[in-house]
Amino acid sequence: MLRAWDELNGVMHYDFQYIKSGRSSNDWIVFKSDNQKLEDKEVLNNPYTSVRFKIMRATGVKDVDGNLIYEGDKVEFVIYGNKGVRTKTTGVVTYDNDFAMFIISVSMSGRYGLGVISTQDDEIEIIGNIYE
């Protein structure tokens, strides 16, 4: 699943198709409200190129409220330290190509693998995103 931040209008979109051409300047966003499908030859006349949008992938992990977590989400979560000490902290969900996994970047204390954190009592909550 994907979502897209529309920088021009300041709106988050969830109901669209993403056509990847291999060159970022030629990738397209097709909104389902346009009644177009990937098979339609007219799809390339769609005026929405992905340059205008920030595409974010879903992680496959849900927060404590059952909301799907996406790249770019700001989250609050619990870090388990020495002797079982629990500390709440916040970070931003990103994808790390080097480790091929979603991570939560925390400015002061490093990075944490999203899968590892989410297995600890599901104590992760979306508190916003980097665009809205």
Q: What is the pTM of this model?
A: 0.74
pLDDT in tens, the chain (132 residues): 888 888 877 888 887 777 776 665 667 777 765 555 555 554 445 556 666 788 899 988 888 898 999 999 999 987 777 777 777 888 899 888 887 888 888 876 665 655 555 444 457 899 999 998
Instruction: Quote the CA–CA distance of 39 and 49 in Å, as a whole number.
Output: 17
Domain boundaries, the chain: 2-55, 59-129
Please, what CATH class does the domain formed by 59-129 belong to? mainly beta
DSSP 3-state of 107: coil
For residue 12, what are the CA distances in angstroms to 22, 24, 41, 126, 128? 24, 20, 27, 15, 12
